[in-house]
Structure 1
Amino acid sequence: MFQRIKNYLTISTALLLISVAGCKKGTFDINDVNPNTPSKVDPQFLLSSALTASAYSSFNASGFTEFANLYMGYWAFSGDYGGYGTTATYNINNGSYTSNWDYVYSTILVNYQYIINNSRKDPKQAYFFGAAQIMEAFHYQRLVDMYNNIPYTDALNGGVVNYPKYTDAATVYAGIIKQVDSGIAAIKGAPADAVSIPESYDVMFGGDMDQWTKFGNTVKLRILLNLTSKDEATVKSELSGLTTSDFLEAGEDAAVNPGYSNSNTAQQNPLYGAVGFSPSGAQTGNHQFYRANAFAVAFYKAHADPRLNRFYDTTADGTVQGRVFGSQNGAEHNTVISAIGKGVLQSASQNAYILPAFESLFMQCEAVQRGYITGTSADALYKSAVEESFRLLKTGATDAASKTAADTYLAQSDASVNWTSASNKLTLTLTQEWAALNMYDPVTSWNNWKRLGIPANLPVSIYPGTTAPHIPIRLFYPQSEYTANTANVNAQGSVDVINGKIFWMP
């Protein structure tokens, strides 16, 4: 019952957000004109709406990323609720987490494709074309990483192609790499009289096209790092000539904020509204339902990591306590297991991070170690990545204090923290990236585990009846596809979420 209620609320909230049109910063209003109904919409209005929807899908727990937070050792279920055996035993089905497909295809990708179609032939609209190309690639990558083969070449052509065939996942990856390149080229090659994206309508970068270019390169880097075990020649070729200065750097978060506020539920930051608090300050159902996972808690404690008290709240006795995923211990009530912390849930008006700077820096650190890019040294990138994670969580009272806390943490003679002490720098980098991605981007954390097996000791659910040897690899195609695109989804054959692979996996 609890899961059904949560799914209903997710759908209801999604429908509200579809109606967000000109949601420029400071004017976020669900009563603005719906961009999906007019025959012609100004790109600036549609871009702000699409970016807000992207943030909703990327940084909203309920129906989107909650499974990854659970599987990657960040969250556990509350001991005060039941009815979650399907997820806890990994017996998910084609009704599980369908928002990742249905909402992304029907709302987000449709809007970006509209911008692309209506700006493609007009050089003056180059900035809008470029931004939409990059964002479309961003979402197609997430779809491949969750489902493998997906509609791509035939997708988004309703009225012309109503039953889109599935495109091989490797072909999709090749296509979205070209899309990112196309978007960056459009931005860099925009004519002098190109229409600027108004600062108030670019709810991610405020009209800063240099940041859009860096973001595009960072999205491309994330795509390519997934190919390290499958096609390293392409990775090296596509990154040739790029340096660390071409990617998002310290302080350069890809963060959406259309004017989030505590005025009402629909205007709250998506994560805060989903697993935080209502406008009145009451705990949401999901805030009570999702608790700290013992695996992550143990890691932060073992390495004297002050982020522990920012990711998770303390319990009544002043300590942070986690729960093993799948535990059925009846004594593990919410009074003794920690809730999601104030570092993640700072306020209803906080940013929604599409791709935080720390994630970019960790990826650059990996790429430098592998010899794919040049520029800043790997150890400096690693240090900066951890500092950025501490900054985002406000681990110190100020940014300077957060940096000091990070440097103190890094100075420990601990091979799982200290660069010099670590014998395997790549394992160190990916382990600390996992530690930082907690609730910020659990899908990328999931992908890193799928391609590199880090963390190596990621636990399997202990829920009674669990037989899987490891966490799921992918999701099932949603029921909507079996209903409306039957022949093409059936052509993909049976889906094995435990042993099946995403094409780029070793």
Structure 2
Amino acid sequence: MKRKYIAYSLLLLASAFSSCKKDFLDQSNNPNQPTTGPASVVLTGALVTTARNINTSFTLEGYLMGYWSPAAGYAPSNSLLTYQFTTADYQVFSQFYLNLANYDYIIKQSGTDPAQVYFSAISQIMEAYNFQALVDNYNNIPYSEAFQGAKNLTPKYENGKDIYAKLITKLDDAITAIKNASTSVAVKPGNADVMFAGDMTKWVQFANTLKLRLVLRQVPNVIDAAAAKTLMANHLSEGFLTTMANVNPGYVNVDGKQSPFWGSYGLSQSGSNNAAPITANVFATDFYTNTADDRGPAFYAPVGGKLVGNTFGTLVPITASAIGRSDLYGSNASNKYGLLKTPSMDAVIMSASESYFLQAEAAARGVISGSAATLYNSGITASFEYVLQTTDADAKASDYAAQASVAYPSGSGATLAQQIQAIITQKWASLNGYGNLEAYNEYRRTGIPKVPVSIYTGVTVKNIPRRILYPASEYAQNASNVQAQGSINQFTSNIFWAQQITSN
């Protein structure tokens, strides 16, 4: 008899064994007895799938955060323009859980084997990364009872706040495991690690940075700075990410094998525009223009020498700047400039810029030591370096940060509120495209920046939505547990760490 299984109840290795896809669809096979494989192969596939999920799943957030707007000549969905989402819209539930099952597989297969400690620790770190994304989208979700296969097809939901606490502990445990590993016994991930090429120091720094993200996400709406400082007290000496956390298994300009960000928003192998319906939002183009930001022409293709954006929800969009600068690519496969670089470009998991802005906020609040102003400027510089990749990127970043409207608020008259305003604003400016979800998260946490709502005539609630809805599959397959979460509304149902923003 055919049976429909819930995503988090499957232990799939599909991302690692694409050749098994046909067998998985064969009803004679039991999906709860998956094809086994070495941790090295499964890890590569899981990292590649994480990169695809995070780089292709958050177009909506690009619209909500004022980066993108519908282009002229296209008819966007009514649900987008009015924010009237359904349980079928903008879902990431299944794909994230399916890939999380791969990390869970590695952890369970590795057990306490000292030879597999690096693979297990990396998988724990990536579980924290992916589960945070799920909580940030849905709040309460299945966690402890997930991945039990046929033993439990209706796992209970746990509070997002409790899951966050468990993820912080998971990251601490992973860091400790890496630091205590016997280097003469532990198998090094090497090329199987398509993110840091087996550099475990970078994995520790990434884990510490991800932990800082989890902790700060709760400040000030859930915990205060003192509690955050206590949570961050251990492993501070390990430091934080100072380089890009990127994935690249060897992307090439072949449809289906391109870098996922390029594949979604750049050009197809034949040269057609995959993101023709998306154009620049005037909120962003005005920001980059008014602050003399050299990244503006890298994020958007100028029209007549200027950045031109559409107001989100306008009935008659104008011909505006295309996103990403795929116009620069052509046959130049060595291009490094802009949001869209080449079909073989790295897929961003976390930017160095985001790491520095996290540290800047933590320093400003007294959660960690260090100069908030220096870290703030480092965040700006890291963004300029990655987006522009020109020899004068640092000089341009310095000139930009020296402007009165951009400079970090300091001196006796500067308030913490002004400093947080500056940090989150510049973080938003750096997250364009690669970090749409994180920009949306920070907006819901802080209300910064003050992104305008859609001006579409059908908008009845003048607020940026607070979340997406649970998927229809959950109401069909895990009804009692999802219904126990109450009536979910995209405008009033907050993620546990969010502040209530009532109007823009």
Question: Smaller-chain TM-score range?
Answer: 0.7 to 0.9
What are the within-5 Å matches in structure 2 for residues 15-26 of structure 1? 19-21=14-16
Task: Look up the equivalent residue of 2:95 and give its one-letter code.
Answer: Y
CA distance in 2, matches of 1:137, 1:344: 27
1:265 equivalent among 255, 265, 269: 255
Does 1:174 find its partner at 2:165? yes
Specify the alignment match of 1:13 in structure 2: none
Letter in 1 for 2:307: V
- Decide whether the 8 Å contact of 2:244 with 2:352 is kept in 1: yes
Contact 1:119 1:125 in 2 (8 A): yes
Structure 2: how far apart are the matches of 1:166 and 1:19? Answer: 25
How far does residue 34 in structure 1 lie from its aligned partner after superposition? 9.4
1:141 and 2:125 matched: no
Q: What are the Cα deviations for residues 141-182 of structure 1, in whole angstroms up to 9, with x where unaligned?
A: 111111110001111111211111111111111111111111
Query: How much does 1:294 deviate?
Result: 0.5
Partner of 1:94: 87
**1:228 partner letter:** V
Structure 2 CA distance for partners of 1:500 and 1:294, relative to 1, 3 Å = same
Name the CA distance, whole Å, in 1 between partners of 2:420 and 2:489. 30
Does the CA-based 8 Å contact 1:127-1:196 persist in structure 2? Answer: yes
Paired residue secondary structure (1:384): helix
CA–CA separation in structure 2 for the residues paired with 1:20 and 1:505: 33
| TM superposition shift of 1:231 | 1.7
**Is 1:147–1:474's contact at 8 Å kept on the other side of the alignment?**
yes
Q: Which moved more, 1:337-346 or 1:151-160?
A: 337-346
Partner of 1:373: 368
Q: Which letter maps to 2:261?
A: L
Do the aligned residues in 2 keep the contact of 1:79 with 1:328 (CA within 8 Å)? no
CA contact (8 A) 2:291 2:405 kept: no
Unpaired runs of at least 5, structure 2: 1-11, 25-30, 327-337, 500-504
Distance 1:505 1:20, change over 3 A: closer
**What is the aligned partner in structure 2 of residue 4 from structure 1?**
none
Partner residue of 1:116? Answer: 107
Asked if 2 retains the 8 angstrom alpha-carbon contact of 1:292 and 1:340, the reply is no
Contact 2:48 2:248 in 1 (8 A): yes
Inter-partner Cα distance in structure 1 for 2:22 and 2:172: 31
Q: Could you tell me which residue of structure 2 aligns to residue 356 of structure 1?
A: 351
> Is this contact kept in 1: 2:278–2:322, CA < 8 A?
no
| Superposition deviation, residue 469 in structure 1 | 2.7
User: 1:296 Cα deviation (Å)?
Assistant: 0.5
SS in 1 for 2:246: strand
Gap runs ≥5 in structure 1: 1-16, 23-29
Q: Given that residues 373 and 408 in structure 2 are in contact (C-alpha distance below 8 angstroms), is that contact kept between their aligned partners in structure 1?
A: no
RMSD: 2.1
- For 1:366 and 1:471, the matched residues in 2 are separated by 24
| Structure 2 match to 1:3 | none
Q: Percent identity?
A: 37
**Residue 404 (str. 1) matches residue 377 (str. 2):** no
Measured after TM superposition, the shift of residue 33 of structure 1 is 9.1
- How far did residue 419 of structure 1 move? 4.8
Q: 1:104 aligns with which of 96, 104, 107?
A: 96
Aligned-partner Cα distance in 1 for 2:43–2:23? 10
Q: In 2, Cα distance between the equivalents of 1:347 and 1:234?
A: 43
Change (3 A) 1:441 1:212: same
In the alignment, is residue 471 of structure 1 matched against residue 458 of structure 2? no
- Larger deviation, residues 417-426 vs 293-302: 417-426
Q: State the one-letter code of the partner of 1:347.
A: T
Aligned to 1:206: 197
CA distance in 2, matches of 1:175, 1:297: 40
Counterparts of 1:34 and 1:141, CA distance in 2: 31
1:311/1:359 CA distance change after superposition, 3 Å: same
Give the partner amino acid of 2:266: G
Determine the structure 1 residue equivalent to 2:9. Answer: none
Report the secondary structure of 1:297's partner residue.
Answer: helix
Specify whether residues 359 and 240 from structure 1 end up closer, same or farther in structure 2 by C-alpha distance, changes over 3 A only.
same
